[in-house]
């Protein structure tokens, strides 16, 4: 994700947790991006079961600071129960507001919904998440995200992340994210994660390579065993991911 604009979608980022840097060409206040990636990585795990994903995003940003948009991507949540209709498409509508603060700081607040065409963890997994971003210029972003019913599991999840960016040239940017997903009550463990990313922009295209890693801590084996009976999220472990994006 390029959190410099406060969006947090699996289609415009790796970051959150995962940071995807996208090319973006705008017409008036409308922005759009198409992305092909070798892995739909989100924070600490793969939403595409470590397979290729195609993603699209469109949004509208008003000069007063408000924005609204939606993203769509293929996903792969293979179920361990053959009777479950596993999800293969994720749609994420979102809306937010960006507030200018003194000395080049900015605060963004965003609501997002995650909607699936099938089941995850053996049930309807649609859920909502609230994000707060604090940015310094386009160099540093701190983020907290809270979901009160993570993947419809009846328990909360909180995600914390800090992202830094450094322009090596006008076209080449280096970025890195360190994060922590507090999800043990929902899925039986917490997940520290980090990634480092290099993106090259050429006209409307962005080519990027990402290195991502995660680990597992604060494990509740009883909760994990119950969850994994339906779906075992593939944790990102020393993963190299490539993406190409075009803005329109």
Instruction: Choose among 201, 234, 176, 242: nearest CA to 50.
Output: 234
Architecture (CATH level 2) of domain 3-247: Beta Barrel (2.40)
Question: Between the ranges 63-67, 117-121, 144-148, 226-230, where is the mean pLDDT highest?
Answer: 144-148
- For 97-147, how does the pLDDT look when each residue is reduced to its tens digit (9 = 90+)? 999 999 999 999 999 999 999 999 888 999 999 999 999 999 999 999 999
Q: How far apart are CA 218 and CA 116, in angstroms?
A: 28
Q: How far apart are CA 232 and CA 98, in angstroms?
A: 36
The residues with which 97 forms a beta bridge, in sequence order, are 66, 109
User: How would you classify the pairing of strands 66-74 and 53-61?
Assistant: antiparallel
Residue 172 pLDDT greater than 90, yes or no: yes
Residue 104 burial class via C-beta count within 10 angstroms: exposed 0-12, middle 13-18, buried 19 and up = exposed
Residue 175 pLDDT greater than 60, yes or no: yes
Q: Which pLDDT score, from 0 to 100, does residue 229 have?
A: 84
Please compute Rg for the chain using Cα positions: 17
Q: Which pLDDT score, from 0 to 100, does residue 8 have?
A: 58
Q: How far apart are CA 92 and CA 59, in angstroms?
A: 11
The residue written with tokens 């009777």 in the block is 83
- For 17-56, how does the pLDDT look when each residue is reduced to its tens digit (9 = 90+)? 333 333 344 444 889 999 999 999 999 999 999 999 999 9
DSSP of 189-205: -BEEEEEEEEEEEETTE
Q: How far apart are CA 20 and CA 60, in angstroms?
A: 19
């Amino acid at each position: 994700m390029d959190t410099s604009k406060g969006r947090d979608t699996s289609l415009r980022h790796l970051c959150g947790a995962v940071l995807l840097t996208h090319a973006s060409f705008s017409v008036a206040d409308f922005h759009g991006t198409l992305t092909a990636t070798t892995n739909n990585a989100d924070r600490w795990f793969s939403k595409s079961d470590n397979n290729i994903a195609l993603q699209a995003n469109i949004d509208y940003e008003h000069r007063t600071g408000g924005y609204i948009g939606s993203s769509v991507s293929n996903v792969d949540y293979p179920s361990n129960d053959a009777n479950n209709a596993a999800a293969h498409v994720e749609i994420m509508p979102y809306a937010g507001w960006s507030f200018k603060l003194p000395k080049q700081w900015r605060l963004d607040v965003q609501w997002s919904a995650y909607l699936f065409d099938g089941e995850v963890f053996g049930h309807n997994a649609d859920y909502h998440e609230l994000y707060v971003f604090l940015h310094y210029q386009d160099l540093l972003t701190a983020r907290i995200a809270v979901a009160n019913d993570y993947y419809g599991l009846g328990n909360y999840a909180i995600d914390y992340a800090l992202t830094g960016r450094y322009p090596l040239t006008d076209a080449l940017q280096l970025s890195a994210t360190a994060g922590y997903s507090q999800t043990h009550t929902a899925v039986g463990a917490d997940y520290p994660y980090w990634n480092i990313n290099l993106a090259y922009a050429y006209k409307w295209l962005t080519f990027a390579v990402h290195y991502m890693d995660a680990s597992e801590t604060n494990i509740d084996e009883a909760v994990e065993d119950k969850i994994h009976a339906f779906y075992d999220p593939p944790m990102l472990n020393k993963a190299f991911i490539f993406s190409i994006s075009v803005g329109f």
